[in-house]
Every structure is written in structure tokens, then in C-alpha cells.
Structure 1
Amino acid sequence: MAPSTTVPSASVIEVPETLLKKRKQNEKAREERIAAASAARKASKSKRKVIFKRAESYVKEYLTKEKEEIRLKRTARTAGDFYVPAQPKVYFVVRIRGINEIAPKPRKILQLLRLLQINNGVFVKATRATQQMLRLVEPYITYGEPNLKSVRELIYKRGYGKVDKQRIPLANNSVIEAALGKFDILCVEDLVHEIITAGPNFKQASNFLWPFKLSNPTGGWRTRKFKHYVQGGDFGDREVNINKLIRQMN
């Protein structure tokens, strides 16, 4: 009869303490990532609600203003008077001529306005100081009062933000929030509202927007750009007719 053999019990392999620590750290990091992702989703959801509510309030504000304008016009017409609209709060300024034979002072003003190239456009707050500046560089620019549709189309279609001196497309609201969140401007509609109403943070919002790079107007310019708009030319104040030019250049 063959002798019986005993199988030795398997020796217990001890896991190194460093590996146990690493596993714990990885597990803790994983839990933190999951918690952070969950918190981010909740924050994003609540932020979307805030953005939607703001957008709704802006629409109501715009409609109320439009209805009030119509009411005032009708009242004036009924009384046999003329309705004089309020002074513009914002101008949209477009550069239409180059730098040949330009004096140092107008050149400096164009630099301050950030109009460094032909067909560049910027939003400017309508103050006495800016009106004086615009008059000094009038032969090189055209400008006027943009309406809500023009402001919205420019920002949505050709809007770029200035982030660390880089030209960044406004692909999502996070770009705007990162740069202007401290001014309570969180999304594109906030940006549009701040511009069109010339709000308290207009300067920051306008400077955040990279100068708009527009195309030549459909059908070309009316003349060689050496006549004022009221004389059948192109430069100078177009008032509300700037909106037609924006459509042609956008």
C-alpha cells in the first residue's frame, strides 16, 4: 500500500502596506470624483434654471419696452405731436477706412476704440466723451444705434471673447461665466442684455468681446467712402440705419 502524502497548506501572501495605502487613496480619490461630478451636475441644473428665468425676464422687459414705445408714438400722433425717441444708449461703430494719411490724434482714438482694421466693429456707450471722440474720427468710421436683433445676431454669429489676450469663440456659457461671472454675467443672454441696456458692467462686457470682424457689405459701399452718410456717402452717424448695414456685413 502506497504511503499517504500530505499536501502542505498554501502560505498566506501578505499584501504590502504601501499597496494597501495606494488602494485606499485610489478609492478615496474615486469617491471624491464621483461626489464632485454629482455636485457639478446639481450646480449645472440649478444654473440652467437661473439662466432660463433670466432669459424669460429679459424677453418680458424687451416686450414691455417695445409696447411702451408704440403707445407713446400713438399718443403723440393722436395729439398731433411728434414723438421724439430717447437718446441712444449704445453705438455700434464700424471702421471703413485704412490708416493712409491719418493724423496722430485720430489714429490714437481708433486705437482706444480697438478699431485696428477695416470692417472691425465694436459696441460703445453713448456718452458726451465718446460722442466727441467719434466726431474726431468720423471720416474713418460709420456708426449708429443698434437694435436688439442686431446685438443678438452679432454676438451669436460673430462673437468671440478675450481670454488671456486670446480670441476664444463663445462656444458655451462657461467661457462667459469664467470671465464675467464676478459681474453676474453668466450666459450669452446676460451679455446681450448688458450691451443693449448699457448696464452698470457695460465696460467689462464690451471689453470682453473681441472686436467683430465683419465682411464687406453686400453690394459694396455706396461711394468711395469720402462723403458723409447724409450726403449719400458712407461715413458718419447712420442712426437706426446702422442696423441695415449690420445685416449686410454680418
Structure 2
Amino acid sequence: MADQSNIQSAASKSIRPFKSSEEYLYAMKEDLAEWLKTLYDLDITADTFMDALETGCALCRHANNVNRAAYDFQLEHPGAALSMKVPSKDVVFQSRNVIQGSFLARDNVSNFISWCRQELWIKDVLMFETNDLVEKCNEKNFVLCLLEVARRGSKFGMLAPMLIQLEEEIEEEIRDQESLHSQAGEPSEKSSNIRCCGRKESSQSVEDEEEPEPGPFVWQQERVLCKMRNLDELVSKDTLTQINSLNQPSL
């Protein structure tokens, strides 16, 4: 099994200025690839990301491992599990002699998608379709969905990609600050600033995408973490903006 340090190495590359959403997407694939390599010793990189997962075997295998982790979590923390969406239904899939693009591959991917919708209740805006992976026509939604699956799994104690670990560190810091200030009877200024930062960065990112500046925009390091915290919202808003622009009637 690969060293977990590979995940941090990939994520550290994301703390740099990005000139486009394509560079951001590539950084997410780097992080997810190292995460899957660590969990399952897969032969996968950012460049082979879609090809390595196209048969759906690794996806279904991971889904069932999330179920096992959720079951163990429910036994150890029954009180906490009551307020969480706990998946339980295993994914049936074909794991041998599955050829890329074949009916078996499509069936595996379809079963994984059904599990995401029915067991994790992932929102449609973060979901992908079978052809998005098999025909590689929508990498963005596939990556966002896999990040969300990793995020849910981390709640049950599973290893998470570095981007998700950074999210959790931010959330923990916010909770600590809010707890301290609530005990003192004061508003949590730091947590408010972090949330405001995330909203401003989301808005600024969409504007930069539509009207690029003459030179590359370099984010401050603290603001990078906030941006990663709302990564799925950012890319999803970008997708919805493009769809709405296509639906506008021409004058």
C-alpha cells in the first residue's frame, strides 16, 4: 500500500495560484488519485484518473467499504449515528474480466451511482451519469461526486483525501472558536471572517472565470483554505452559470 504522505504531497501542490478551473480540477484529481492509491494500492494518477476507474470496480469496492465503516461507527457511537445518514445496502458488482466501456462496466458504474443517491443521498448537483465516466464527457461532476463520497466516509472514520482533511481542520477550528466565544458571551469574529472569506472567494472566482484579469490572480494562503472548503459549491455554481447562459434567448 502506498504511503499516506503521497496524499499530502499532491494536496500541497494545490496551495498555489490557479489560472483556470481546469488547473483546479487537475489538482483535485491528483489528490483523489493519491487517496485511492493509498487505500487500495491502485495504479492511478491524475492523468489516468478516469481510465483507472472506468470499469466501476474500484468505486463499488469503496462503496461497500464505506458501508462497513458506517456499520462499525454505528456500533461504537449509536447516539451520534442517529443524526447521520448511515448507508447500509451493499453494492452488487462484477469484479472479474470487466472491460472498459463494456456492459458490465456500465452496470458497475450505474450501481455505484444508485448507491450514492439512495444510501448517501448526495444532491443531484454533485452527481454524475454513467456516460460522464465511461465516455469521459464530464470529469468535473465525477470528481465532485467522488469528493463528496470521501467526505461522507470520513465522518465514519475512513481516511480522507487531503482536501477533505483541510476542510475538517477548518471546521474544527471554527467550532473551537465559537465554543470559546460563546462561553465568554462574545460573537465569534474569527469564524465569521472565515465564512465571509468563503462567500467572497466563491463570488470572486465566478467573476474571474467570466472576465479574466490581465495577470494571474494569486490568493493569500488563508483564503486558499477557505476556497477549498467550498470547492464543490464553486464548481457547481460555475456549471449552473454556464447552463443558464446557454438557455438565454438570443436577441
TM-score by length of 2: 0.20
Computing the radius of gyration from Cα coordinates, the structure with the larger value is 1
TM-score by length of 1: 0.21
Q: Which has the higher strand share?
A: 1
Q: Which has the higher helix share?
A: 2
